Amino acid sequence: MNTESNTSETTNVMPRIGDQAPDFTAVTTKGKIKFSDFAKDKWVVMFSHPADFTPVCTTEMSGFATGKSEFDALNTELMGLSIDSIHAHLGWVQNVRENTGVYFDFPIIADLDMKVSKLYGMLQPNESETAAVRAVFFIDPSKKIRLIMYYPLNVGRNMDEILRALEALQTSDKHKVAMPLDWKKGDKVIVSPPKTLDELNERIKDESLEKVDWYLAKKSI
Ligand code: BEZ
């Protein structure tokens, strides 16, 4: 028997890759935001953290804040969330600014009623009934969810990987290609395998590609 249960109060829908990002209106450190009106024509990286004034979260939020110019360069807005009050958020933002000079210059949702956490599957009751896990949602300009990361309470995320994944998604969209293991900007990309015999014959002849075999071929972009 499974002794772990997802009980009523905290049970939430898990959004999936390819779903439209659920819409919501929330109070944030930048005022009230309706998500469908936020960051028009931009990507959004929306992430949750378990609690303000906690050590791992402070390192992560500082990482997002210091990386903000890189997200800006990728046409991407940041949005944080935790199940804390606006008062706590403002106190924490000010505390980190005073201690380190790092300023969290992006909206942080005060999700005291857990509405957004539940909408986005950020409350995972067997990890915590009251704190959001460390989730990251990559949402494209059409507000479709394109990539999801979930980390537990005790392991911080990797900012290089978040930026790499974002750039991989955008590059894949732009060039209609796929990204191999460990792809980073400047590396070769994978071209789609042929779908017909004519395409297969073309592929075999194409000497511009780096080919392991007809179904695994790379090119520079
Ligand atoms: C932290 O950010 O350090 C933390 C928050 C909640 C639970 C455990 C660790």
How many domains, the chain? 2
pLDDT at residue number 11: 53
Q: What is the mean pLDDT of residues 169-186?
A: 98
- Domain ends where: 122, 157, 192? 157
The torsion defined by the Cα of 139, 140, 142 and 147, in degrees rounded to 10, comes to -50
Local confidence band at 9 (pLDDT 50, 70, 90 cut-offs): very low
Q: Which of 106, 124, 157 is where one domain is finished?
A: 157
Check if the beta carbon of residue 104 is closer than 8 Å to that of residue 123.
Answer: no
- pLDDT score, position 3: 40
Ligand 1 atom 7: residue of nearest CA: 153
Question: Looking at residue 199, which CATH number applies to its domain?
Answer: 3.30.1020.10
The answer to whether residue 168 is domain-embedded is: no
Residue 16 is assigned to a ligand binding site: no
Give the model confidence (pLDDT) of 53-103 as tens digits.
999 999 999 999 999 999 999 999 999 999 999 999 999 999 999 999 999
20 CA → ligand 1 middle, Å: 30
Catalytic residue among 57, 79, 123, 166: 57
> What does the pLDDT read at residue 8?
41
Average pLDDT over residues 179-191: 98
Domain range for 132: 25-157
The pLDDT of residue 221 is 96
Instruction: Measure the CA–CA gap between 166 and 172, rounded to whole angstroms.
Output: 10
**Does 18 fall in a domain?**
no
**Mean pLDDT in the chain?**
94
Residues 148 and 196 in one domain: no
Sequential DSSP letters for 38-50: SSTTSEEEEEE-S
Indicate whether 214 belongs to any domain: yes
Does the predicted model carry a pTM greater than 0.85? yes
What is the spatial distance between Cα 116 and Cα 27, in angstroms, rounded to a whole number? 11
Q: Answer yes or no: is 169 within a domain.
A: no
Active site residue 33: no
Q: Find the residues whose C-beta lies inside 6 A of ligand 1.
A: 50-51, 54-57, 131, 153-154
